[in-house]
Structure 1
Amino acid sequence: MVIYVLGHSVLSELNFEQIRKTDEKYWRLLEIERGYCRKHAEQIHELAYKLYKFGCNSNHVLHHTCCDFTLLEKIYRNYTCGMHEKRSTET
């Protein structure tokens, strides 16, 4: 399993009705995926949290198989702070 840490600036909202009009096969796939995620949302959150805890606990037996979430969070915070500073100096 791979977890990607993304900021809101790189995410985009999908217009399902527009997709349905232009590409019904893709829309059906998205609906199946969305349904799965909604049905299993609690399990997905629980598993993601467990994985996060493994990655943050250097004493856990599975720690070596996980991302260094603490480092990723630190780098992300530095990156987003830098982006905010860059925007404020550009305006």
Structure 2
Amino acid sequence: MEYTVGMINRIKRIDGQMQAISRMVEEGRDCREVVLQMAAARNALDKAIVVVVSANLEHCVRQHVERGEGSEETIKEAINMFVKSR
């Protein structure tokens, strides 16, 4: 699977959020601020997972259809990947 520039940028933003959280902890910032930022990073990561799983599902189903194969297993696998990520 090829990852789009948008997907890569999304991951880089999440990395930046995580680095900022690390700095906040090192600085001894208030726990409410830290937890708020952690929740924001987790939400961003959840959205990134959805983007990757949905793009992967679309790509895999398209390949299976082009080869004349069933796509039911591919769909189940993608759903399982998403469920396990929660």
TM range (shorter): 0.3 to 0.5
Q: TM-score, normalised by structure 1?
A: 0.32
Larger radius of gyration: 1
Q: TM-score, normalised by structure 2?
A: 0.33
Higher relative contact order at CA 8 Å, sep ≥6: structure 1 or structure 2? Answer: 2
Higher-helix-fraction structure: 2
